[in-house]
Structure 1
């Protein structure tokens, strides 16, 4: 079963007797577990019909006993087992008979980071319930995630706003969700969240300052680039995340530059590189500031800056020299 199928079933009221939620993306795992618990049991009777266990502390029999207990004053009870990847082999052996024949009146939920599907208990999960993996989202899926989250919050977001928020925050779904909550409040009575709303709300974040640094370097505005760099260091940002942001930005500029050199249309560039038309003009302007040979030199400088920062080089001195080199076209 996929995560989308599970969520659809839950929202339809189809509650599995067994559910194992796992994967790299803990935010999605925990959110799915919350949704399942919200729908599985009467929240007013939760104190009577809900138990939580931890895999590193459980012997297995305690989970089975709780799962076999009849619900009080309700149709169903729920049992949640966190850190399930830490369950010992002995505990899994004790749990296996229950998984093969689960109680009709219990929703037993396991959450964890990984499973060994060679073990029989997990094949039984597939037969009797749901074994669902939540993979880390690729960068090109983040904008869709933002738009979906905003719709669920009752306040749609412009595609350009979703793209910008995904670009600023990156693959941190917890932080993306938190920013969407702020944007919903900020938008107030307006029907949609705009890209300008995103700029305003995110303007105090380190991610936004790194984004601004990359933009100022792209237009070769040394004065504002150095101001952004100083702000990042004052806020405690380290060299690796700054270099990561710059590398992503200049990699995109390189791709735009290549397509410009190949005489591709603006529409082709937007579609091929997945750049929202809201930002395309800015990318085109910046890409025209650099030839491909110059971009190769910049990537070499980014690499040398990374190596030097890890071997004792002074962070601000290194980044200052990098900014000057990009804007002036001269590297020592």
Structure 2
């Protein structure tokens, strides 16, 4: 059995239902996801009378694993041993021969969970040849859980339109446990209805912290102040602190400003509809504009987030963005100096920013331009 990823993992579960088990499975990736995937094989075998044992190698000396695998008779029930923190074994290569000898009779099967595992390790090579390697998180962004989402919906007799699925995945982020929890909530909320709608997602899904804060800027620019206020209320209701929301908005618009600067250097970026072409152009442009080290706000975010972010520049010119930082300065003052209620202060900010879309920038000296114009990051004024 070679490497099993994505939809191919289902084959391992089907084989387990037929008592066709590999001596060694290595699940490489996030612990919660690895435990969930391995648990599907365990549950199938438990129903068929197999004995299940669990051990965490971060808490139990790894030297004891060969003895644990060797215990039990040849003619007893089949045993499956789930070993968490398997990455510990990558530092103990001398244990590999003992572990493989313990697995050779065939009465016991090892499911090893590891955050990462070297491909040149003896256990990994054995799993590739005679066992199964299950790599997790091969993709980033919303594509990571796409197969899992389709599989779970199919099992529950549910469906989602593509746009709703993309919206759901954009909210839940890349934490597997959060993804599973929010998916269960959406399925339950839909009840007897087969099709899960966007309203179901909006009603019950709590966005991942990073996704929710990032989404606030998106919601404001795309749907307007009322929709942004609705999301703000949900963030506040779930205990999000106003200073963190304010800081997230600052980061969001700083990132948008930097992206606008790049677009001004390479206007075709704004019109590019193919993500791979956008990613390659962006990568080259970052090296061209910042030869030493590009800003972390651009280099540490997945390019897909920037690919989606650029759509807001159709209605918001680079020249207008400094006025957003002026509005942020006012927001900060309203919260910290004037002690305004958070919802009122943020809503005023939302109204002002949304009003900037599609308008020409105010000229210096205009009576409508705030007196604190220029209070931008790094200027010594502001936050």
Seen in structure 2, the aligned counterparts of structure 1 residues 56 and 243 have a Cα distance that, compared at 3 Å, is same
TM, length-normalised to structure 2: 0.61
- The residue number in structure 2 matching 1:308 is none
> Is this contact kept in 1: 2:84–2:114, CA < 8 A?
yes
Alignment correspondent of 2:220: 216
After superposing the two structures, state which structure 1 stretch, 106-115 or 238-247, moved more.
Answer: 238-247
| Residue 166 (structure 1) shift | 1.3
**Deviation at residue 58 of structure 1 after TM alignment:** 3.6
Partner of 1:177: 180
Alignment of 1:190-229 (within 5 A): 190-202=193-205, 211=215, 214-218=218-222, 221=225, 225=228, 229=232
Q: State the Cα distance separating 1:239 from its structure 2 match.
A: 4.0
Say which of 114, 119, 122 aligns to 2:121: 119
- Equivalent of 2:43 in 38, 47, 57: 38
DSSP 3-state at the match of 2:315: coil
Structure 2 distance, partners of 1:132, 1:248, is 39
Root mean square deviation of aligned Cα = 4.6
Structure 2 distance, partners of 1:227, 1:189, is 27
Give the CA deviation at 1:111.
0.7
Give the counterpart of 1:291 among 306, 317, 327. 317
Contact 1:151 1:157 in 2 (8 A): no
**Partners of 2:270 and 2:310 within 8 A in 1:** no
Structure 1 residue 88: Cα displacement: 7.8
- Shift in alpha-carbon separation, 1:198–1:36, aligned structure 2, 3 A: same
Q: 1:133 to 1:71 in 2, by over 3 A?
A: same
Correspondence 1:105-116 to 2 at 5 A: 105-116=107-118
1:85 and 2:87 matched: yes
- Partner residue in 1 for 2:31: 26
Q: 1:314 to 1:89 in 2, by over 3 A?
A: farther
Q: Deviations over 1:52-79 (max 9, x none)?
A: 22213444453223323237763x2111
SS in structure 1 of the partner of residue 55 of structure 2: strand
Structure 1 residue 7 corresponds to structure 2 residue 7:
no
Q: Any unmatched runs of 5+ in structure 1?
A: 274-282, 306-312
CA contact (8 A) 1:256 1:269 kept: no
Gaps of 5+ in 2: 279-308, 338-344, 357-368, 376-383
Please point out which of 329, 349, 353 is paired with 1:326.
Answer: 353
Give 1:16 deviation, angstroms. 1.0
Compared with structure 1, are the counterparts of its residues 71 and 79 closer, same or farther at alpha carbon in structure 2 (3 Å cutoff)? farther
Distance in 2 between the 1:198 and 1:93 partners? 50
Q: In structure 2, do the counterparts of structure 1 residues 11 and 232 end up closer, same or farther at CA, with 3 Å as the change threshold? A: same
Deviation of 1:105 after TM superposition, in Å, equals 1.9
Match of 1:99 in 2: 100
Q: 1:33 to 1:56 in 2, by over 3 A?
A: same
Q: 1:28 to 1:79 in 2, by over 3 A?
A: same
Task: Report the Cα distance in structure 1 between the residues aligned to 2:131 and 2:250, rounded to whole angstroms.
Answer: 41
Cα contact 1:55–1:82 (8 A) shared by 2: yes
Cα distance in structure 2, aligned partners of 1:315 and 1:149: 46
Q: 1:315 to 1:61 in 2, by over 3 A?
A: farther
Matches of 1:111 and 1:244 in 2, distance apart? 39
Distance in 1 between the 2:249 and 2:231 partners?
14
In the superposition, the TM-score normalised over structure 1's length comes to 0.69
- Judged with a 3 Å threshold, the aligned counterparts in structure 2 of structure 1 residues 148 and 248 are, in CA distance, closer, same or farther, namely farther
- Picking from 54, 67, 71, the partner of 1:65 is 67
Deviation at 1:30, TM superposition (A): 1.4
Secondary structure of the equivalent of 1:104? Answer: coil
Q: Indicate conservation of the 8 Å contact 2:142/2:169, yes or no.
A: no
Structure 1 292/324 Cα, relative in aligned 2: closer, same or farther at 3 Å?
Answer: same
Q: CA deviation at 1:169?
A: 2.0
Bigger Cα Rg? 2
